[in-house]
Amino acid sequence: MKNTMLIVDPSLLRLLLGIIIAGMWPGMAYYLTLFYPPSRTGKRIGQYFTAAQVSAAVVSLVSAGFQEMDGLGGLVGFQWMFLLYGLVGIIVGFSLLWWLPDRPLPPGEVPIRTGYLKWIPQSRPALAGEDARIHYEDLTRVYRRRSWNMKDLLQVLTDWRLWPLVLMYFGVVGVGIGVQSYATVIIKAANSKLTSVQLSLLAAPIWIMDLIAILLVTPFSDRFHHHRALFFSVPVCIQIAGLLLTTYGGSAWPRYGGLLMVGFGLGPTVPITMTWTNQVFQHRHGEVGVAAASALVSGLGNLGSILTTYALFTGWVSDSAPGHKKYRKSTLVMVGILCLSTLSSVVMTLLLKWAGNGPAAKQISSRSSTSEGEGVIMDGAAKRELQERGLGRLWWRR
């Protein structure tokens, strides 16, 4: 009997992977708003987002090792990488069912689990003692969920504030995925003598720069959360400068330095976009606004990755011809979509100043006896959203 092997189109696998993980990123952005005021989620989203940068850097490093495993067990090196990473993902996915609590609970309340969840060990409470009491009093909206219907969802979908954020995300994610997919291709174009292992090692520092920028910039974007556009636009300008240096730099190392600048500029832009989405839509539409807007910004904005992955670089036949102008048009297209992102952030700021960002539903006090579902709760944390912390309580000002 002949041996048969099931051959699956890689494009189909990539499509299925995208469908499965589509809700993870916006879901985590929403999840953090259950524990923190939206204006303070930038640093937290940034810290979560660093996992992607660490992963990109580590993959670049370990892929050099996986290439040495070609032929081991009858598998190619990348197959070993997919196998081991997939196994880790499965283990982590199941562990999260008990590792993370669903949401904060009022002090003393015990969650009731039904169905298959009752067979999973109970996760520890997110908060306990004095922390739980303070959170319960200060972030009342989390514990008094407002019911929503399709009309509320339609209000989110038709809110004009959604579309500048989508365009912001479109540009920076498109460039980020483009650089992630073609970093080694761009480096190879600058120095054709590099081996595949050297290319993998040189790609890792791009994402280390990305990580450093996230840790440096996102805390300040929270302290000055009324100036999100500034903290978004400056890193985007660094990306543009880096792409131009990568395109027009004379020798190989200045062009590589341009890629490091792109990595640094990429870092804070995605977390800031998601945080600004939380900040705007939590105030206007409550939890349904955050969940729906985060999903739409992430989902529609990711169309930028389709552009940079399939239409640019190796997908643009005339632009991938050998010569000193190789990939020049592709990088200039990325500069163009970054300019679109910057312009969108400026337009968003100006329109918010002109039209405001008041709640779409009636606003009620957290001390009100109004039943839930009748308005957006204005709790203590929401009142402080109108203020910036500034530099007053940083360690050097104490």
pLDDT digits (tens, 9 = 90+) for 246-278: 888 778 888 899 999 999 999 999 999 999 999
The whole-number pLDDT of residue 49 equals: 84
- Alpha helices for 33-76 (secondary structure H): 41-66
The whole-angstrom separation of Cα 168 and Cα 241 is 18
The whole-angstrom separation of Cα 308 and Cα 43 is 28
Task: To the nearest 10°, report the CA torsion of 155, 351, 177, 187.
Answer: 180
Instruction: Please say whether the beta carbons of 191 and 252 come within 8 A.
Output: yes
What is the per-residue pLDDT across 173-227, written as a single tens digit (0 to 9) for each? 999 888 888 888 888 877 878 887 788 788 888 988 999 999 999 999 998 988 9
The whole-number pLDDT of residue 370 equals: 43
Residue-by-residue DSSP string for 332-359: HHHHHHHHHHHHHHHHHHHHHHHH----
In this structure, the number of other CB atoms found within 10 A of the CB of residue 9 comes to 8
The whole-number pLDDT of residue 240 equals: 95
The whole-number pLDDT of residue 335 equals: 93
Cβ contacts of residue 327 below 8 Å, gap of 6+? Answer: 182, 185, 186, 189, 247, 312, 313, 319, 320
The whole-number pLDDT of residue 60 equals: 65
The whole-number pLDDT of residue 371 equals: 43
The whole-angstrom separation of Cα 198 and Cα 205 is 12
Alpha-carbon distance values, 59 to 52, 82, 111, 251, 254 (Å): 10, 11, 39, 27, 24
* Low pLDDT (below 70) residues in the chain: 1-10, 60-61, 64, 116-117, 314, 320-321, 323-324, 360-398
The whole-angstrom separation of Cα 330 and Cα 324 is 13
The whole-number pLDDT of residue 1 equals: 44
The whole-angstrom separation of Cα 215 and Cα 217 is 6
